[in-house]
Amino acid sequence: WWSVDVFYTQGLGSEYAFHLERQATCTCCCCNRPEVVVRDVQGNTIGSVRDPFPCCGGLTFSIRDPNDEKVLKMSSSCCPLGLWCPLPYGPCSEIEMDITDTDSGETVGRVTKKVPSTLKFLLSPDVDDYHVEFGRVSRPAHKALI
């Protein structure tokens, strides 16, 4: 089980933005898949992010609203090289995941996971950089879930 409080900084101070929480699970293939619940400052559920089991292929995440309705889908290509061989250069240096609106089927944004520089990679190989392009994602709750 883990939980994370996310703050944002503006000017000289920082403010509490939202809380992420993931229960410990014993995951096996398609059974008992991981889920992260996102809550606002008052403790109200904004939504959740689930990691469904892809039979074969790349990363896929199901982004759901507080009513457990699927609102966005985030997925990578079939077999991203960076997932299997994360190197800080060449085709293995990043994984791109498109964010798709489930109602319209349109791509509304993108998340890119980048392997850090060689020095940072060698000193701490579990550090990654994520770059988020919200594009046409307009609802603040959906942005928090991404």
Per-residue pLDDT tens digits for 129-138: 788 898 888 8
pTM, two decimals, is 0.75
Cα–Cα distances in angstroms (integers) from residue 56 to residues 60, 77, 79, in the given order: 11, 11, 8
Model pLDDT for residues 111-122, shown as the tens digit of each residue = 988 877 767 767
* C-alpha span between 38 and 45 (Å, rounded): 6
Any idea where the domains of the chain sit in the sequence?
2-145
Strands of the 107-114 sheet, one edge to the other: 2-10, 13-22, 35-39, 45-50, 60-64, 70-76, 94-101, 107-114, 129-133
* C-alpha span between 70 and 47 (Å, rounded): 10
Query: Helix, strand, or coil here: 59?
Result: coil
The pLDDT of 8-25, averaged and rounded, is 79
